[in-house]
Amino acid sequence: MAKTNNIAKRFDGKVAIVTASTQGIGFSIAERLGLEGASVVLSSRKQKNVDEAVEKLKGKGIEVFGVVCHVSNAQQRKNLIDKTLQKYGKIDVVVSNAAANPSVDSILVTQESVLDKLWEINVKASILILQDAAPHLTKGSSVVLISSIAGYHPQAAMAMYGVTKTALLGLTKALATEMAPNTRVNGVAPGFVPTHFADFITKDAAIRKQLEEKTLLNRLGTTEDMAAATAFLASDDASYITGETVVVAGGMPSRL
């Protein structure tokens, strides 16, 4: 990431909620928005993770508040929005980052319970969190959905996960239409980023090398790369962009 003192303050006075934001890409997004001046609301399933992430961001001088929120729990989703409003009085940015990939099975042998979980966390939760948040979004607000390059090419070992990310490409378009003109909705489709979530792919040196060779930049992405793209789309620098998904994958094949 750029040095802190070189980062623009595009989110001064803004309030941003980031789901699944105590580690990995979500944490880097929360950090970036906070370094740019946002009051950031962190969330994830475990209180311990929330507390640790809040302390890390406070240590960087970021105004941050943490709420436990399992995105498939209706009461916890409502609580996330209510607590944000009680603390800050408004919502300017929502980044929906929560995702699950509980299976490496091919689609036709995936258990129904796993299909339900993938749909529930990766697609439905984004819709439901926005149902709660939408009435409170300010004019000029922004939503960013975190999709995946796998949404363009669902590959074996993560095929159904990829299909749920394909659904987010359509959801981004549909919500952009529905929430215009007061709220912009865009997506970020990360390539392969070494995080705890992607361990099963990126920790194998041979597979990692293959992935690096599929990029044009000969490296995997960083969580900071994803955060920078998300911050751009959420900011007023992207005020004439809505309904789009930006692929952040080092030139890895996605689409024309």
DSSP of the chain:
---GGGS--TTTT-EEEESS-SSHHHHHHHHHHHHTT-EEEEEES-HHHHHHHHHHHHTTT--EEEEE--TT-HHHHHHHHHHHHHHHS-EEEEEE--------S-GGG--HHHHHHHHIIIIIHHHHHHHHHGGGEEEEEEEEEE--GGGTS--TTSHHHHHHHHHHHHHHHHHHHHHTTTEEEEEEEE----SSTTHHHHTSHHHHHHHHHHSSSSS---HHHHHHHHHHHHSGGGTT--S-EEEESTT-S---
pLDDT of residue 206: 87
Q: Which of 88, 152, 161, 240 is catalytic?
A: 161
CB 188 within 8 A of CB 245: yes
CA distances from 92 to 13, 14, 65, 184 (A): 9, 6, 15, 11
Extract the residue ranges of the chain whose pLDDT is less than 50.
1-2
**Is-catalytic flag, 152?**
no
Class of domain 15-194+223-247: alpha beta
Residues 150-207: pLDDT tens digits?
A: 999 998 888 999 999 999 999 999 999 999 999 999 999 999 998 877 776 777 888 8
Q: What's the pLDDT score for residue 1?
A: 46
Are 162 and 106 a contacting pair, CB within 8 Å?
A: no
Alpha carbon distance 211, 218 (integer Å) = 9
pLDDT of residue 235: 98
Q: How many CB atoms lie within 10 A of CB 56?
A: 16
What is the domain partition of the chain in residue ranges? 15-194+223-247
For residue 122 the two structure tokens come to 């990766």
Instruction: State the CB neighbour count (10 A cutoff) for residue 59.
Output: 8
